[in-house]
Amino acid sequence: MKSNSPLIKIFLGLYLVIFFGYLLGPLVIMSITGFNSNGFPRVAPWECLTFEWFEVLSNDKRIINGITNSFIVGIGTVILSVVMGLAGSLVLIQIWPKLRSTYYTIVIAPILIPGVVLGISTLVFWDRINVMLGFSSDSFLHNGIFQTILGQSTFIASYCMLVFVARLQRFDTGLTEAALDLGATNAQAFRKILLPFLRPAIASAAVLAFLASFENYNTTTFTFGKFPTLTIELAQKVRYGINPSISVLAFIIVALTIIGALSFEIYQRRKQLALANGAPVGSVSGNFQLPKFMRGNPASIVLLLVALGGFSSIWFANVYSPDACKVEVREQKRLIQQEQIEAIKQQQLLRQQEEAQQGPDIFSPDNSLVPKTDSEPATQGGGSFGNVFAPQNLDEAGPESDAKEDAGGSEASTTNSGNSTFGNVFDPSNLDQ
């Protein structure tokens, strides 16, 4: 069966586009919104290319505080989880074979238990302990950082253990025996033979633990106490309305991840290459040409381009000033606003004139018999209420309605009267006017 029929190719291409669109689309969109001067994270309408949200982000005390807490918790979790995971995996490898599967089930269980449950149990458990020990309610056992680290480690340690077990299964226990035979104590054999062998696994487990801790919400939400982590802060922010500084944060995280992944990949490939050539790692250094690993690996080229884009935009941020654009946009908005005010005025004028004309006829037979018709009062009623309930005037009711519409993210209405009647008076970017 040959699969080079054009139909299948098209299908495959389409599938890939959808697949990657699904995977990366949200990230790309979100990153782009971080550069729009619009006060709400959105791509359309595109107003001005701006970097002001970086500044807003860096001035956001709560976000910064959240990041700091996340880092503290992350580092604590890494240390605790890696140590516990390593211990757990060593026991698993050496335990009496009959007990092994039972033990495995027990230590793997936290991964299967919902994070919410772990969070609640952590909270309750340490509270009980605190009471039992007779500590005051502000003891370290009640500290948010302490509880969050312990709570997250309950299941992250299991992840780490799996990483270690995978590596340990390839360990030749003969090496430990050889070390013992040569006079090493058990501790020396562990430190000099097993630990160096596990080093790559320790590194991956640490990265895994850190990422799992950084992005954790379920468990943390019960344990953070007075130390909200980044995820907690973000969740709270969403509740009270957000601005594109969050997109900027997302962009920074995505960019850092890509750069990290790329440099790791380059390092690995280079090492492989060096090993394949039988040369020491350091000797394979960069003469400037497309590195070998790039050829036939479009994904890495894309990654590189994205990273380059990130760097150049940072550079661009220092050179480019969006002020001119903003002034223009503001001017445009003002014009539209004025036009609309004009239009409303004209409408009102027209209506007054009509009323003036109709006024004398109020006692005409047509009008005196009010309940007679259904259709006419509708139009007339509308007129007599001064179109207060007309859709485009509804917005005049107050600032809340505009905010609501923004929060709802109604895309189509932003282009019509809804926004423009007010000339974006309530747009955060215009507030300083």
Choose, by CB under 8 A, the member of 49, 162, 180, 262 that binds another protein: 180
Q: Work out whether 175 is an interface residue with another protein (CB under 8 A).
A: yes
Residue 250 sits in the site that holds another protein (CB under 8 A):
no
| The length of the chain, given as a count of residues | 433
Q: 177 or 342: whose CB is closer to another protein?
A: 177
Cβ contact 417:392 at 8 Å: yes
Interface with another protein (CB under 8 A), residue from 107, 193, 202, 205:
193
Place of tokens 């003002």: 334
Tell me the closest approach of the beta carbon of residue 200 to another protein, in angstroms.
Answer: 11
How far apart are the C-alpha atoms of 268 and 21, rounded to whole Å? 28
Residues 6+ apart with CB under 8 A from 245: 34, 53, 54, 56, 57, 60, 63
Question: Does 182 participate in binding another protein (rule CB under 8 A)?
Answer: yes
**Which of 55, 138, 177, 339 forms a contact with another protein (CB under 8 A)?**
177
Contact between 279 and another protein (CB under 8 A)? no
Query: CA dist 54 to 147, 430, 431, Å?
Result: 32, 18, 19
Q: Which is nearer to another protein, 182 or 319 (CB)?
A: 182
Q: Considering only residues 188, 352, 384, 416, which one is a binding residue for another protein as defined by CB under 8 A? A: 188
Q: Should residue 99 be labelled a site residue for another protein when binding is judged by CB under 8 A? A: no
Strand pairing partners for 36? 49
Residue 45 interacts with another protein (CB under 8 A): yes or no: no
Give the one residue of 97, 174, 398, 408 binding another protein; rule: CB under 8 A: 174
Annotate each residue in 196-225 with x if it binds another protein (CB under 8 A) or - if it does not, as one string.
xx----------------------------
Beta carbons of 219 and 122 less than 8 angstroms apart = yes
Q: How many Å apart are CA 284 and CA 267, to the nearest integer?
A: 11
Residue among 94, 116, 124, 172 that touches another protein (CB under 8 A): 172
Beta carbon nearer to another protein, 175 or 407: 175
Least distance in angstroms from the C-beta of 97 to another protein: 12
* Binding segment (CB under 8 A) for another protein, from list 145-153, 190-198, 253-261, 306-314: 190-198
Size of the site for another protein (CB under 8 A): 18
Q: Which is nearer to another protein, 166 or 281 (CB)?
A: 281
Among 134, 278, 365, 371, binds another protein (CB under 8 A): 278
Cβ distance to another protein smaller for residue 173 or 353: 173
Taking CA atoms, 20 is separated from 14, 44, 254, 265, 297, in Å, by 10, 22, 16, 20, 16
Select from 69-77, 187-195, 219-227, 296-304 the region that touches another protein (CB under 8 A). 187-195
DSSP 190: I
Q: Is 314 in the site for another protein (CB under 8 A)?
A: no
- Selected range binding another protein among 18-26, 193-201, 243-251, 393-401, rule: CB under 8 A: 193-201
Q: Does 120 bind another protein (CB under 8 A)?
A: no
CB atoms within 10 A of CB 272: 14
b (16+ CB within 10 A) / e for 171-194:
eeeeebeebeeeebeeeebeeebb
Q: 125 or 197: whose CB is closer to another protein?
A: 197
As measured in angstroms, the least distance from the Cβ of 191 to another protein is 10
Q: Is 192 in the site for another protein (CB under 8 A)?
A: yes
Backbone region of residue 424 per phi and psi (left: phi > 0; alpha: psi in -120 to 50; beta: other values):
left
Task: Say which amino acid occupies 73.
Answer: V
Q: Considering the complex, what minimum distance in angstroms separates the CB of residue 179 from another protein?
A: 7
Cβ atoms of 142 and 126 closer than 8 Å: yes
- Rounded CA separation 221/161 (Å): 25
Q: Please give the structure tokens belonging to residue 337.
A: 């606003």
Q: Are 336 and 423 in contact (CB under 8 A)?
A: yes
Listing DSSP states for 104-161 in one string gives HHHHHHHHHS-HHHHHHHHHHHHHHHHHHHT--TTSGGG-HHHHHHHHHHHHHHHHHH
Q: Which of residues 58-77 bind another protein (CB under 8 A)?
A: none
Which residues lie near another protein (CB under 8 A)?
172, 174-175, 177-185, 188, 192-193, 196-197, 278
